[in-house]
A = this chain, B = another copy of it.
Amino acid sequence: MYCENQSSRSMPVKHSLVLDGEKGELVQASGRIGKKIGVPETKTIAALKSHSEAERRRRERINAHLATLRGLVPNNEKTDKATLLAEVISQVKQLRATARRASEGLHIPMDADEVHVEIVEHNGGDGSFLLRASLCCDYRPDLLSDIRQAINDLHIQVLKSEICTLGGRVKTVFLVTTGERDKDGAAGLEVLVSSVRGALSKILDKVSASAEYALDLFSPRKRQRVS
User: CA of A93 to CA of B14 in the docked complex: distance in angstroms?
Assistant: 46
List the B side residues contacting A53 at CB < 8 Å: none
User: CA of A106 to CA of B162 in the docked complex: distance in angstroms?
Assistant: 11
User: CA of A10 to CA of B217 in the docked complex: distance in angstroms?
Assistant: 84
> What per-residue 1/0 map shows which CB atoms of A116-157 lie under 8 Å from chain B?
000000000000000000000001010010001000000001
Interface stretch, picked from A36-44, A80-88, A189-197, A206-214, is: A80-88
> What per-residue 1/0 map shows which CB atoms of A158-186 lie under 8 Å from chain B?
11111111111010000000000000000
Is B148 a contact partner of A165 (Cβ separation < 8 A)? no
Is A65 a contact partner of B78 (Cβ separation < 8 A)? no
Which residues of A are at the interface with B, using a C-beta cutoff of 8 A? 1-2, 9-12, 14-15, 18-20, 22-24, 29-32, 58, 61-63, 65-66, 68-69, 72-73, 77-78, 81-82, 85-86, 88-89, 91-93, 95-96, 98-99, 102-103, 106, 108, 139, 141, 144, 148, 157-168, 170, 217-218, 220
A-B contact pairs, 27 of them (CB 8 A): A9-B24, A14-B19, A15-B15, A15-B18, A30-B30, A61-B82, A62-B85, A65-B85, A69-B89, A72-B96, A73-B92, A88-B88, A88-B92, A92-B92, A92-B95, A95-B96, A98-B99, A99-B99, A102-B102, A103-B158, A106-B161, A141-B166, A141-B167, A160-B160, A165-B165, A167-B217, A168-B218
